[in-house]
Amino acid sequence: MKRMVWVSLCVLLSLTACSALVGRPAAIAPAPAQPGLPPEEWAIRYPKEYNDWKDSVHGVAYLSGNSDAPGCTDCHGDPESGEIQTPTFRLEIPSRCARCHANETVMSKYGVATDVYDTYRADYHGTTIEYYRANDPAAWRYEAVCSDCHQSHAVYGPDDPASSVAQANLLATCQQCHPEASSNFAAASTGHYRTSRQASLLVYGVKLFYKVLIPLVIGLMLAYIGLDISHRLRKKSKGEES
């Protein structure tokens, strides 16, 4: 029994140490270099991408003079440089989006949630992408990033029928990576999973339960080991006195 307790404690402490060493997220990606090309030049060079962007929620706002909306070079440099084809760029996509979407000052103007980056990093896709971004940025990973679900240029609000994550389009979007996904798969998806009391009382309760249970179990194990060591020392001390 004591050996199992010791082994369990060592495993827990090892996992905690590993998390502390390699689990820290990298900083949000810096803004790309500005090539200094006007939108008209982008339209000539990359007509398909430009047309997708100009009709999107970003393009419509940008072309109407909204300085908060991203233009081409707010997200990436000139594609001719080859930057967008690198694994490093792909791993940086979520954090590049986070420059705006995690900015409370900007997003509060439009009623857009600012927790999308944090909720993305909390699920399998985001955890994996962020791990490799911080520890092996040259690794090519296939876990979904923002543009896989929301598109790169044709980005629309989730309630817009043209959006790739609109309810009518969600299954087809999921099937790009999960070809055998059924309608139940898409229906079960909650997008950026939130564990607040308002979003899901059951999930919130389970998360709270484990937040209490795990420290309690570790604390009791440490107390048990401490008492055992104390008992052994007292027993040894009494033996030496006799």
Q: What tens digit of pLDDT does each residue of 207-241 get?
A: 889 889 998 998 898 888 888 888 888 887 776 65
Whether residue 214 is found in the same domain as residue 111: no
Predicted pLDDT of residue 33? 59
For the chain, list residues with pLDDT below 50: 19-23
Domain range spanning residue 76? Answer: 29-194
- In a shared domain, residues 88 and 124: yes
How many structural domains does the chain have? 2
Residue 81 shares a structural domain with residue 135: yes
pLDDT of residue 23: 46
Specify whether 96 is located in the same domain as 168.
Answer: yes
114 and 178 fall within a common domain: yes
pLDDT score at 21: 42
Give domain status of residue 23, yes or no: no
Same domain, 76 and 172: yes
Please report whether residue 19 resides in a domain. no
pTM: 0.73
Is residue 78 one of the residues assigned to a domain?
yes
Considering the domain architecture, whether residues 126 and 207 belong to the same structural domain is answered as no
DSSP labels, the chain: -HHHHHHHHHHHHHHHHHHHHH-PPPPPPPPPP-----HHHHHHH-HHHHHHHHTSHHHHHHHTT-TTS--HHHH---GGGSGGGSHHHHHHHHHHHHHHHT-HHHHTTTT--S-HHHHHHHSHHHHHHHHHHHH-TT----S--HHHHH-SS----TTSTTSTTSHHHHHHHHTTT-TT--HHHHHH--SS---STTT-HHHHHHHHHHHHHHHHHHHHHHHHHHHHHHHHHHHHHHHHH-
